[in-house]
Structure 1
């Protein structure tokens, strides 16, 4: 991808950013609801009692894979200096 703005690609990135932000907002709201039900003082106990080392490794590996996928999908820019 070059540094020149491409309306089609630019619009695709804006739409993807919008839906990513929307998804993050929905997850944030659900976590807030869960915290209000469980109570702030008991969050740690609820999380720790449900997690095993296998679960934690699985989630960690999923995060690593997601980051790799994002890096592959991210546009690369070439800058050309023009006189």
Structure 2
């Protein structure tokens, strides 16, 4: 069940993050961005802000996905 939850939250977070950051991706890339963002953002928010529960996980997922997109654009822009 946790894997299914991560995919659902990742899809939602990736969708929101790609729309906010104006990035056009396919469904698989959006879900992967959201899942990686969930890992990054969830850990950062839990350690820095001491938030717990699903709210911290979802907010962290969106913020982490946006951070991942920003870093990807910055690295891709240097080439």
Normalised TM-score (structure 1): 0.31
Q: Which has the bigger relative contact order, CA under 8 A and spacing at least 6?
A: 1
- Of Structure 1 and Structure 2, the greater helix share is in 2
Normalised TM-score (structure 2): 0.33
The structure whose Rg is larger is 1
